[in-house]
């Protein structure tokens, strides 16, 4: 048996290293370490309540709008008011643009470049993959960066700038859009559609979103081999990505993109054997057993912690959030499974989440988001209000639950005499890369890594990198 | 031909990743073509490069032993020196030392050291007054020179740390600074007293603000989505904060003030310690933070005068989130006209 320390990991957002125990060319045990602590919850403590909107988004420059919306939702829940329809739509549009940008950046810049590594040079699919996805050189990454700039022009119209906007307030969105701005938004969204239909899918979004099961998906990929998605599916089949990075943990989603007509993606839990069920957020808790922190484990609405770098048995700054004492996986796969998206449900028939399903779910979600974006932009009503003045009560407790690109994000806060007396955040990768809890249960990544093959002499096993990056980890959010 | 490419190593200290997200938008085509066009060779970037784990450790070792030449060390994120000076708030076993120490060691091998963003420039949000993280910038903590590398630090080319502050900075600020360095075209006299490139900090965020007419007439917004000037009531610091923010487009056509919210002076040291960002602190009804070099008496006099002259259109539009009174010429006043012709409509 050998031990291997893999790190520093890159093409993940932030700092990560993984400790592996390897036997018979396989990972038999894994520990995920998030080695950076910045103290955001302590920084928020004692601030005037609305200043959370300046501080909280700066937890993460990648999902800054998600952090912003979680903080705004938590403050809004204290006040109990409803923003005007335009404000909700503007927030949904900016949020969906950020999440789509994150999904595609993950695919082109973070995940696929590992298949262009020299270790795969002998494979039949290598040359095409390397030309398209080689880090910093691939034509696919360059085309995506050009499109990404264009997509983020949504923020110029709606949010002033990105990352770190202050446009999203409890009362709505500070930037009203006139009829010209509405058309500019439509044009940006249309460009995204064209890009996806010409580059990623080589087919219409309607055709992609109507794929109902894995058989239909494979037949479709045969007919549309020119797209990057079909190319991914062929590499995935050759590398067995559907059998890599498996866990049978339940999948959780807080529900995403609420509007007057309810959420675009439903809230709930999907269990591989029992199917979908209702989410009971009262059973959320954070466990500190393996974290360099002291304090009571408990619900984020009450519990708080302080640091202890010398704690026995601790190996990460990441806490271990649990749902009803169980680890759960979050992310696009969870969102689409909970929302009963047919293809994603079918890909999970084996009873296991896996690397391939995580990637497919992300791209399927991207296609669905563009269809929603088109509706939301058209629904904007220039001339009607976007934001109401937001007077917060002097005291009260609130919670904001949103879905960031990487999964469920929650902010729990309390206000006393106009200032924040309590602030706890559970971020998506805190769930996915959580360490062992008091019951000794490893988190989703730690479970998914078990069984991962290690080639002879590998210092940074390539399959381990596929598994880690399949979660699209955001380590800066994880510890905050 | 024959000039070696300009080598860049980009590290993320205690960062949110936002400066990297910003620089990904640089260039009129895409970042990779932009770097190529400037002859910049990125030795390693945590979000972009293929190399991981052991490959990175060996690159850093090569730089520290001068086997690989480093032109610019770019650091994004605050330097975590806590708890109790140990640096363990950012400590990975794979680097064998706290991250702040790694940065300090590498800085001695770079021709230029560049702080990308307010965190590595001045400490930023994690350097909050409470000081839980014991965070600092590379050569400043807030406006106090020192920081991680010390007051006397100069890089191989003889410059102090170059501070591209902003949270996050405009992609153009990052790319233009790096490009100027790659041509050895940024010298000591091109930096302001806080180490910021003067082509950025010679301007105020206020310059080019599209609320200018409201500012002139002191027609002030009462709430964030109003179109009026954000300075008098809503904490806007654009008349004091340095940066050409409103002379450029952010994400196309945007800027903070165009987005409907106030400038929070994110390019300035200590912006993290402001309280009530969206309220203007006042003394006897007069804003405490006046435009950067304006005498108070003049400001009060001019404000009173311009308020008394504010057109109804400007006053009413200042309190709406869209134009409610369009600009139109006054109706012809035939009778009062001397020659009886009146103005053309």
Say if the Cβ atoms of B277 and A14 lie within 8 Å.
no
- Best of A62, A147, A160 to disrupt the B interface (most B CBs within 10 Å) is A160
Closest CA to B262 of B292, B299, B224: B224
Q: Inspect the interface and report whether the beta carbons of B133 and A382 lie closer than 8 Å.
A: no
List chain B residues with CB under 8 Å of A175: 225, 258-260
Question: Cβ(A225)–Cβ(A132) under 8 Å?
Answer: no
Q: How many C-beta neighbours within 10 Å does residue B295 have?
A: 10
Write the class of the CATH domain B6-201.
alpha beta
A424 to A34, A286, A411, A414, B277: CA distances (angstroms): 18, 10, 6, 9, 21
A389-423 confidence digits (pLDDT tens): 878 999 999 999 999 999 999 999 999 999 999 99
A195 by DSSP, 3-state: which?
A: helix
Inter-residue contact B316 to B217 (CB < 8 Å): no
Which ipTM score applies to this complex?
0.96
Residue-wise pLDDT tens digits, A120-152: 999 999 999 999 999 999 999 999 999 999 999
Is B322 in contact with A176 (Cβ distance < 8 A)? yes
Residue B178 near residue B38 (C-beta atoms within 8 A): yes
Backbone angles phi, psi at A18, to 5 degrees: -125, 130
Residue recorded with tokens 């096993």: A461
Please say whether the beta carbons of A189 and A152 come within 8 A: no
- In whole angstroms, give the CA distance from residue B94 to residue B83: 20
Distance of alpha carbon B24 from alpha carbon A162, whole angstroms: 12
Cβ contacts of B128 on chain A, cutoff 8 Å: 39, 42-43
Instruction: Count Cβ atoms below 10 Å from residue A288 Cβ, excluding itself.
Output: 22
Test A37 with B56 for CB contact under 8 angstroms: no
Distance of alpha carbon B318 from alpha carbon B300, whole angstroms: 20
Residue A411: strand, helix, or coil? strand
Name which of B93, B106, B192 is nearest B148 in CA terms.
B106
Q: What is the pLDDT of residues A441-457, one digit of tens each?
A: 999 999 999 999 999 99
Q: Picking from A361-365, B4-8, B173-177, B287-291, which range would have the lowest pLDDT averaged per residue?
A: B287-291
| Average pLDDT for A173-193 | 98
CA end-to-end span of chain A: 35
Query: Which residues have a Cβ under 8 Å from the Cβ of A150 and sit 6 or more positions away?
Result: A188, A191, A192
Three-state secondary-structure class, residue B125: helix
Q: pLDDT tier at B2 (50, 70, 90 boundaries)?
A: low
Map residue A334 onto helix, strand or coil.
helix
Rounded CA gap, A241 and A238, in Å? 8
A33 CB within 8 Å of a chain B CB: yes
User: Which residues from chain A sit within 8 angstroms of residue B322, using beta carbons?
Assistant: 176, 178, 382-383
The shortest CB-CB distance from B52 to any of A10, A61, A171 is to: A10
Looking at chain A from residue 78 to 107, which residues have their Cβ under 8 Å from any Cβ of chain B? 105
Q: pLDDT band for position B344 (50/70/90)?
A: very low
* CA pair distance A369, A423, nearest whole angstrom: 31
C-beta separation of B18 from A164 below 8 A: yes
Choose the closest CB to A167 out of B89, B260, B275: B260
Cβ neighbours of residue A454 under 8 Å, at least 6 residues apart? A4, A20, A22, A25, A26, A27, A461, A463, A464
Higher per-residue pLDDT: A470 or B338: A470
Place of tokens 């996050």: B168
At B186-224, the pLDDT tens digits run: 999 999 999 999 999 999 999 999 999 999 999 999 999
User: Is B203-322 a CATH 3.30.70.260 domain?
Assistant: no
Q: Do B30 and A54 touch (CB under 8 A)?
A: no
Cβ atoms of A264 and A341 within 8 Å: the answer is: no
Split at pLDDT 50, 70, 90, the class of B345 is very low
**Backbone region of residue A47 per phi and psi (left: phi > 0; alpha: psi in -120 to 50; beta: other values):** beta
Please answer yes or no on whether A42 and B126 come within 8 Å at the CB atom.
Answer: no
pLDDT averaged over chain A?
96
> For chain B, which residues make up each domain, given as ranges?
6-201, 203-322
Residue with structure tokens 């954070």?
A286
| Separation of alpha carbons A20 and A4, rounded Å | 5
For residue B11, what are the β-bridge partners? B75
B30 and A149 within 8 Å at the Cβ level: the answer is yes
Average pLDDT over residues B258-283: 95
First-last CA distance in chain B: 64
Question: Count of alpha carbons within 13 Å of A398, Cβ hemisphere only?
Answer: 25
CA distance A141 to B31: 10
Give chain B positions within 8 Å (CB) of A163: 16, 18, 21-22, 168
Which pLDDT belongs to residue A306? 86
Q: Residue B270 half-sphere exposure, CB side, CA atoms within 13 Å?
A: 8
Looking at the partner chain, which of B12, B54, B256 has a beta carbon nearest the beta carbon of A161? B256
With CB atoms and an 8 Å threshold, state whether B322 touches A175.
Answer: no
> Do B53 and A8 make contact, defined as CB atoms within 8 angstroms?
yes
Instruction: Dump pLDDT digits (tens) for A76-93.
Output: 999 988 999 999 999 999
What number of other Cβ atoms are within 10 A of residue B281's Cβ? 11
- B337, pLDDT greater than 50: no
Concatenate the DSSP letters of all residues of B85-118 into one string: T--TTBEEGGGTEEHHHHHHHHHTTEEEEEEESH
Q: What pLDDT, on a 0 to 100 scale, did the predictor assign at position B343?
A: 44
Contact B125 A178 (CB under 8 A): no
CB spacing of A166 vs B262 below 8 angstroms: yes
**A2 phi/psi in degrees, rounded to 5:** -125, 155
Give which of A335, A407, A463 is closest to A102, Cα–Cα: A407
Q: What is the C-alpha to C-alpha distance for residues A308 and A461, in angstroms, rounded to an integer?
A: 32
Helix (H) or strand (E) run with residue B114 in it: strand B110-116
By CA distance, what is B126's nearest residue in A? Answer: A38
Residue A361, Cβ density class (10 Å: 0-12 exposed, 13-18 middle, ≥19 buried): buried
Mean pLDDT of A266-294: 96
Are A442 and A23 within 8 A, CB to CB?
no
Q: Which residue out of B5, B79, B91, B259 would a mutagenesis test of the A interface target, given it has the greatest number of A Cβ atoms within 10 Å?
A: B259
- Give the whole-angstrom CA distance, residue A406 versus residue A330: 7
The dihedral sign for the CA sequence A304, A306, A309, A312? negative
Closest chain A residue to B324, measured at CA: A383
The overall average pLDDT reported for chain B is: 92
Q: Do A476 and B15 touch (CB under 8 A)?
A: yes
What is each CA distance from A259 to A20, A72, A101, in whole angstroms? 44, 15, 21
Outline where B108-168 has alpha helix (H).
Answer: 118-122
For residue A210, the SS3 value is: coil
């Amino acid at each position: 048996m050998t031990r291997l320390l893999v790190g520093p990991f890159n093409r993940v957002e932030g700092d990560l290293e993984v400790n592996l125990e390897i036997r018979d060319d396989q990972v038999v045990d894994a520990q995920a370490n998030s080695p950076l602590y910045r103290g955001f919850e302590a920084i928020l403590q004692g601030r005037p309540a609305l200043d959370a909107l300046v501080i909280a988004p700066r937890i993460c420059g990648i999902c800054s709008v998600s952090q912003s919306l979680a903080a705004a939702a938590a403050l809004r829940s204290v006040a109990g008011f409803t923003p005007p329809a335009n404000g909700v739509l503007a927030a949904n549009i900016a949020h969906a643009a950020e999440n789509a940008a994150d999904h595609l950046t993950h695919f082109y810049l973070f995940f696929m470049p590992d298949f262009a590594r020299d270790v795969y040079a002998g494979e039949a699919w290598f040359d095409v993959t390397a030309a398209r996805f080689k880090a910093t050189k691939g034509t696919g990454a360059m085309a995506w960066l050009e499109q990404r700039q264009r997509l983020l022009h949504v923020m110029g119209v709606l949010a002033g700038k990105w990352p770190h906007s202050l446009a999203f307030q409890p009362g709505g969105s500070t930037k009203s859009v006139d009829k010209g701005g509405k058309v500019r938004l439509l044009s940006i969204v249309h460009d995204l559609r064209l890009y996806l239909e010409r580059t990623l899918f080589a087919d219409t979004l309607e055709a992609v979103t109507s794929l109902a099961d894995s058989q239909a998906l494979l037949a479709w990929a045969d007919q549309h081999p020119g797209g990057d998605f079909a190319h991914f599916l062929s590499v995935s089949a050759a590398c067995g990505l559907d059998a890599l990075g498996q866990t049978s943990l339940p999948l959780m989603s807080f529900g995403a993109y609420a509007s007057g007509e309810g959420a675009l993606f439903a809230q709930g839990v999907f269990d591989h054997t029992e199917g979908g069920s209702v989410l009971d957020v009262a059973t959320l808790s954070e466990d500190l057993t393996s974290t360099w922190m002291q304090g009571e484990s408990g619900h984020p609405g009450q519990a708080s912690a302080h640091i202890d770098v010398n704690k026995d048995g601790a190996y990460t700054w990441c806490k271990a959030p649990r749902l009803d004492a169980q680890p759960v996986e979050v992310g696009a796969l969870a969102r689409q499974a909970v929302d009963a998206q047919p293809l994603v449900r079918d890909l999970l028939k084996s009873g296991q989440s896996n690397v391939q399903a995580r990637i497919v779910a992300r791209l399927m979600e991207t296609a669905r988001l563009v269809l929603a974006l088109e509706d939301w932009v058209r629904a904007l009503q220039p001339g009607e209000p976007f934001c109401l003045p937001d007077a917060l009560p002097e005291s009260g407790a609130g919670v904001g639950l949103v879905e960031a690109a990487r999964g469920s994000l929650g902010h729990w806060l309390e206000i006393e005499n106009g200032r924040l007396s309590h602030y706890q955040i559970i971020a998506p990768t805190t769930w996915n890369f959580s360490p062992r809890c008091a019951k000794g249960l490893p988190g989703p990544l730690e479970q998914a890594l078990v069984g991962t093959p290690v080639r002879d002499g590998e210092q940074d096993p390539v399959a381990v990198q596929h598994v880690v990056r399949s979660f699209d980890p955001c380590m800066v959010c994880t510890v905050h | 031909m024959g000039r070696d490419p300009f080598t860049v190593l980009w590290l993320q200290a205690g960062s949110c990743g936002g400066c990297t997200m910003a620089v990904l938008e640089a260039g009129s085509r895409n970042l990779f073509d932009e770097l190529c066009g400037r002859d910049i060779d990125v030795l390693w970037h945590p979000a972009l490069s293929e190399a991981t784990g052991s490959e990175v450790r060996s690159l850093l070792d090569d730089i520290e032993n001068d086997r690989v030449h480093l032109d610019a060390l770019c650091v994004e994120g605050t330097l975590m020196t806590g708890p109790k000076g140990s640096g363990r708030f950012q400590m990975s076993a794979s680097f064998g030392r706290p991250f702040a120490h790694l940065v300090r060691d590498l800085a001695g091998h770079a021709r230029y050291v560049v702080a990308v963003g307010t965190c590595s420039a001045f400490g930023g949000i994690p350097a909050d007054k409470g000081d839980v993280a014991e965070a600092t910038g590379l050569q400043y903590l807030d406006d106090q020179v020192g920081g991680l590398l010390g007051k006397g630090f100069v890089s191989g080319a003889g410059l102090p740390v170059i501070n591209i502050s902003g949270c996050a900075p405009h992609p153009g600020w990052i790319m233009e600074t790096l490009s100027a360095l790659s041509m050895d075209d940024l010298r000591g006299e091109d930096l302001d007293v806080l180490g910021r490139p003067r082509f950025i900090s010679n301007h105020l965020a206020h310059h080019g603000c599209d609320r200018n007419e409201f500012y002139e007439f002191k027609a002030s917004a009462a709430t964030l989505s109003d179109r009026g000037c954000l300075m008098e009531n809503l904490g806007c610091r654009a008349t004091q904060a340095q940066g050409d923010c409103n002379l450029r487009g952010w994400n196309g056509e945007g800027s903070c003030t165009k987005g409907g919210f106030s400038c929070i002076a994110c390019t300035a040291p200590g912006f993290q310690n402001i309280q009530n960002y969206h309220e203007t602190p006042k003394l006897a009804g007069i804003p405490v933070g006046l435009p950067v070099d304006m005498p108070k008496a003049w400001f009060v006099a001019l404000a009173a005068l311009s308020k008394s002259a504010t057109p109804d259109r400007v006053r009413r539009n200042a309190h709406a989130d869209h134009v409610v009174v369009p600009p139109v010429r006054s109706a012809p006043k035939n009778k009062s006209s001397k020659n009886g012709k009146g103005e053309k409509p």
